[in-house]
Amino acid sequence: MQLINAVLLTLLAVVTMAIVRQRSLFGVAILAGIYSFVMASVLIVLDAVDVAMTEASVGAGVSTVLLLATLHLINSTETRPIRRNLLALFFSVGTGAILVWGTLILPPFGTPDAAIHKHVAPRYIADSVKETGIPNVVTSILADYRGYDTLGETTVIFTAGIGVLLLLHRARRRGRAVDEAEDRG
């Protein structure tokens, strides 16, 4: 299992480097879909099947389609920046270092004496059926205990989708107006 996880994480790193090096925005969109699919595979290996299904459908599916639809309306080659922004590089490297440090101080994966297994998980396992009336503990956590959180996530995704559709519709309408003006002139 660790070998599979190591291979998938290495593949994620390779795809990330390919995305950074890519100048074709079409290639970036396709590689982003591949990244999401590999990330969904990592989540399956970690036994987070519900999160993996969301990653596969939203990340690899919907996001890839929206990126490709957007590329249909714009130039598909990234322009080279005039100057390098070293401040942005500094903050990105700093944030990455803090995230790596934060993961190093976490307890090892699956440790039974981790804080979550001492306080939160036992309460959910013991009380979720009688408090929610739902026999599946995972469903009761997602639908009842984390209901507002799930509603918020759904609202953010819905709002982002509507925003992208409005932008695509506006760009399409602007393209028609330019075509009509050229036909008249």
The phi and psi torsions of 177 (rounded to 5 degrees) equal -65, -40
Type of residue at 5: N
What is the pTM assigned to this prediction?
0.59
Q: Which residues partner with 24 through β-bridges?
A: 77
Mark the ranges of the chain whose per-residue pLDDT is less than 50: none
Q: What is the pLDDT of residue 14?
A: 95
Q: What is the pLDDT of residue 16?
A: 93
DSSP letter (8 states) at residue 17: H
Between helices 147-184 and 63-73, what is the axis angle to 10°? Answer: 20
CB 157 within 8 A of CB 58: yes
Q: What is the pLDDT of residue 147?
A: 78
Q: Which residue has the tokens 């995972």?
A: 138
Q: What share of the chain is helix, strand, coil (3-state, %, to 5)?
A: 80, 0, 20
Q: What is the pLDDT of residue 10?
A: 94
Q: pLDDT tens digits, residue range 103-127?
A: 888 888 778 888 777 888 888 888 8
Q: What is the pLDDT of residue 91?
A: 93
| Residue 157 Cα distances to 51, 70, 162, angstroms | 15, 17, 9
Q: What is the pLDDT of residue 70?
A: 81
Nearest 5 degrees, angle CA 115-CA 118-CA 122?
Answer: 130
| Rounded Cα–Cα distance for residues 21 and 33 (Å) | 16
CB 41 within 8 A of CB 52: yes
What mean pLDDT value characterizes the chain? 83
Q: What is the pLDDT of residue 18?
A: 94
Q: What is the pLDDT of residue 8?
A: 93
Q: What is the pLDDT of residue 145?
A: 80
Q: What is the pLDDT of residue 148?
A: 81
DSSP string, 97-152: HHHHHHHHTSPPTT-TTSHHHHTHHHHHHHHHHHHH--S-HHHHIIIIITHHHHHH
Q: What is the pLDDT of residue 121?
A: 82
